[in-house]
Amino acid sequence: MSSAVVMDLDSVPARAVLQALPQPVMVLDEARRIQFVNYAAEAFFGASLSVLTRQSLDDLIAFGSPIISLVETVVQRRAPMTEYRVRVGSSRFGDERIADVFASPISDTDGRVAVLIQERTMADKIDRQMVSRGAARSVTGLASMLAHEIKNPLSGIRGAAQLLEQSVPSDEVPLARLIREETDRIVGLIDRVEVFGDERPMEREPINIHVVLDRVKLLARNGVARGITFYEEYDPSLPPVFGNRDQLIQIFLNLIKNASEALERTQKPEIKISTAFRPGIRISVAGVAERISLPLEIVIEDNGPGVPPDILPFLFDPFVTTKTNGSGLGLALVAKIVGDHGGVIDCDSRPGRTRFRILLPVASGAFQNSADVEEGSPV
């Protein structure tokens, strides 16, 4: 970086303003060489200012990225431009990230361009989850309307199949048993869908989430996750969550069961459970005037093959599944229970690493942090 640029940035409050921004900002010259990055950009790319200023944008961003053509256009037109939902790939990090990219000329006298990157993370994921909950509510209405009408004839079919098992020749008994078993499976599916319509008040109390996670881990090690190595990374100072113990156990047991099934063909299967306090996540929900803070983070991570990219955006929708014989209701139910607790859940997946992150509110009065910074947009 030239001394002239250093003096230019240091001589005005602009440098301090750029450093204070939570979004990554880069300043490029006309040849797209990096002249300045703020702290957020250093964190985003995982490199220091001194390392990044020895590179050009072409070295940093994946070949063919629309960000490069965006900067070229801004230099030519001398006018600000924006690209929304751009896939940002870089040699500095492995996975692609989705971001909105804003580029603007710094002045009319030179070809320098400022580039700001707004990563699309929690806002998009929360929005998708609200859509999933809407789909779940639609399924609920349909189930409530049809459950009674469907269960009555199914009961008759099951009874008839039981009688057939006792009266048909032995070679036809498997067919009668198949009718009974499939009838039971359909009834079980309807029962699971009906759970979405349960609007009874939930009994809640302050709960130590680590006690819940230890219970889930004990159950899983002796059942669905036998033979899988567990790792824990707990924040011991985590305040209690205001929740229902049994339903919280159901959430995490379901997630670990899914992870265990995904690890069936993985050598050295591992599941990592971590907790942390993350002030800064706040959302708006219907019926509540104030934004709700969601500082409790619980992550279930596995080293399995990952979720197919075409399914990932719809993972919490009812009847969406990657399993051959799956019902597609497990994760939809998890999302409903998390939502009933006032929290949100999201999934980040790539081959070799899948992370389910749950954000929950603390129990009232357990912890106050007036310095919370809002993230994302109102939902």
Q: Where are the domains of the chain?
A: 13-119, 122-195, 203-358
**pLDDT (0 to 100) of residue 369:** 40
Q: Are 207 and 241 in contact (CB under 8 A)?
A: yes
> Which H or E element spans position 296?
strand 296-302
CATH fold, domain 122-195, is Helix Hairpins (1.10.287)
Pairing of strands 229-233, 270-277: parallel
CATH fold, domain 203-358, is Heat Shock Protein 90 (3.30.565)
**pLDDT (0 to 100) of residue 131:** 53
**pLDDT (0 to 100) of residue 133:** 55
DSSP 317: S
Pairing of strands 292-293, 270-277: unpaired
**pLDDT (0 to 100) of residue 374:** 38
Burial 330-361 (b: 16+ CB within 10 A, else e): bbbbbbbbbbebbbbbbbbbeeebbebbbbbb
**pLDDT (0 to 100) of residue 373:** 34
3-state SS class at 127: helix
3-state SS class at 238: coil
H helices within the chain, ranges in order? 3-10, 14-20, 39-45, 49-52, 57-60, 66-77, 122-167, 173-194, 209-221, 245-262, 330-340
Instruction: Give the pLDDT of the chain (379 residues) as one tens digit per residue.
Output: 333 333 355 545 667 777 777 788 888 888 888 888 888 888 888 788 888 888 888 888 877 778 888 888 888 888 888 887 777 776 665 566 778 888 888 877 778 888 888 877 655 655 555 555 555 555 555 556 566 667 778 888 888 888 888 888 888 888 888 888 888 877 776 766 666 555 666 788 899 999 999 989 988 888 888 889 999 999 988 999 988 888 898 899 889 999 998 898 888 999 999 998 877 566 655 444 555 677 889 999 999 998 888 887 778 776 666 665 655 667 878 888 888 888 888 888 888 899 999 988 887 755 444 333 334 333 3
**Spatial distance between the Cα atoms of 293 and 273, rounded to a whole number of angstroms:** 22
3-state SS class at 61: strand
Written out in words, the top-level CATH class of the domain with range 13-119 is: alpha beta
